[in-house]
């Protein structure tokens, strides 16, 4: 699978997330569906709004990634996978 088809697949899956969130929001609002979690009932359309929010966030991240992935100056480096250690200077004078 090349870069372009992988990006198209990623955007397609993100579009499905957004559509599912919209469908869940509308159907829960129309049918007055609520969910019970820890003895607290809340409207189902709130869950749909959360799914839409996450879908929009993933879309933004995929858009940023797709812009960066097609740059010509990119090269593979194992250093991209290393974690940087955070130094804490709390309590030191």
Q: Tokens 């480096």 label which residue?
A: 77
Element containing residue 35 per DSSP (H, E): strand 34-37
Q: Please, what are the averages of pLDDT over each run of 10 residues along the chain (93 residues)?
A: 81 91 92 88 89 90 81 66 65 55
Give the per-residue pLDDT at 53. Answer: 93
Give the per-residue pLDDT at 89. Answer: 63
pTM above threshold 0.75: no
Distance CA 33, CA 27 (A): 8
- Give the CA dihedral 2, 63, 68, 77, nearest 10 degrees: -70
Sequence-distant (6+) residues with CB within 8 A of 24 are 44, 45, 47, 48, 51
């Amino acid at each position: 699978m090349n870069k372009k088809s992988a990006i198209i697949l990623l955007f397609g899956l993100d579009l499905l997330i957004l559509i599912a969130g919209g469908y869940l929001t509308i159907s829960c609002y129309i049918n007055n569906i609520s969910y019970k979690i820890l003895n607290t009932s809340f409207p189902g359309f709130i869950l749909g709004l959360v799914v839409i929010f996450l879908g929009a966030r993933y879309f933004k991240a995929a858009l940023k990634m797709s812009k960066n992935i097609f740059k010509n100056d990119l090269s593979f480096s194992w250093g991209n996978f290393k974690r940087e250690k955070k130094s804490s200077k709390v309590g030191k004078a």
